Amino acid sequence: MDYADGSLSAGLLIASWLPLLVLALWLPPWRVLPRARLGLWLAAGTLLAALWMLRASVTPGLTLHFLGAALLYLMFGALPAIWGVAFAALLVAGLGVSGFEGLALTVLAAGALPVGVVHAMRLGAERWLPPNPFVYFFFVAFLGGALSMAAAGAASTLLHALAGHASLAQLASGYLPYTLLLGWGEAFLTGMLATIFVVYRREWILTFDDARWLRRR
């Protein structure tokens, strides 16, 4: 689900670099990544890049693959997750699987947007839902993974429709449904790994607060 094939306008691709450059100047990776977790972050970003290479092409310029952004958020928090997606996208582009011109838009639409969705769901769960670990696993991780893919798919559909790559009706019938189906895979992957990590490697899931989710009522 990248944007480096030339199907979008050069102006849009160039403009997409602006928010990423602002973020890089304001909160660069070395300021938001704790050194104790740097090795884990690099390993996760590398594995995410490998996951992105397992892709299917629906039509020229439209690809489908797992995102992994939701799991990165659960493991590291919002900003490290966005930079993790950027690291993975850079590796994928460096290996020639995609181009560099759409890297910033890929990070925003397939990284920042999904991360924002899961972050909002986590905040909502902490405010309005009971302090039960199954709320975290099923609502934040599982459903958050599904909705993060749905949001990224909707963004990709809208951007390609606005760019004239295909009509909105064509994309809504020939591309968007596949992203929604892939969302269930994203949900199972995110929910399963988050659950395993919480049980066996609690320190890997930064967003799982024992005091919140394991609190006795």
Confidence (pLDDT) at 4: 59
CA angle 3, 55, 42 (to 5 degrees): 80
**Cα angle, residue 78 at apex, residues 75 and 83 outer, rounded to 5°:** 90
Question: Is 2 a member of any domain?
Answer: no
Residue type, 189: L
State residue 174's pLDDT score. 86
CATH number of the CATH domain containing 174 = 1.10.1760.20
In a domain, 4, yes or no: no
Query: For residue 2, what are its two tokens?
Result: 């990248």
Q: At what angle do helices 69-76 and 38-53 cross, to 10 degrees?
A: 170
CA 202/CA 188 separation, integer angstroms: 19
Domain membership of residue 5 (yes or no) is no
Query: For residues 61 and 2, what is the distance between their CA atoms, to the nearest angstrom?
Result: 8
Give the domain range for residue 154: 10-213
Give the chain's domain count: 1
What pLDDT sits at residue 148?
97
Long-range contacts of 210-213 (CB under 8 A, 24+ apart): 212/126, 212/131, 213/131, 213/132, 213/133, 213/135, 213/136
The predicted structure's pLDDT at residue 7: 66
Tell me if 16 sits within 8 A of 108, measured CB to CB.
yes
In a domain, residue 63? The reply is: yes
Please report the pLDDT score of residue 217 as a whole number.
58
Structure pTM? 0.93
Residue 208 in any domain: the answer is: yes
3-state secondary structure (DSSP) of residue 56: strand
> Quick check: is 3 in a domain?
no
* Residue 188 covered by a domain: yes
Residue 128 lies inside a defined structural domain of this protein? yes
**Distance between CA 150 and CA 42 in Å, rounded?**
26
pLDDT (tens, 9 = 90+) of the chain, 217 residues, equals: 677 556 677 788 888 999 999 999 998 888 888 788 999 999 999 999 999 999 888 776 688 999 999 999 999 999 999 999 999 999 999 998 888 888 999 999 999 999 999 999 999 999 999 999 999 999 999 999 999 999 999 999 998 888 877 788 988 888 899 999 999 999 999 999 999 999 999 999 999 999 899 876 5
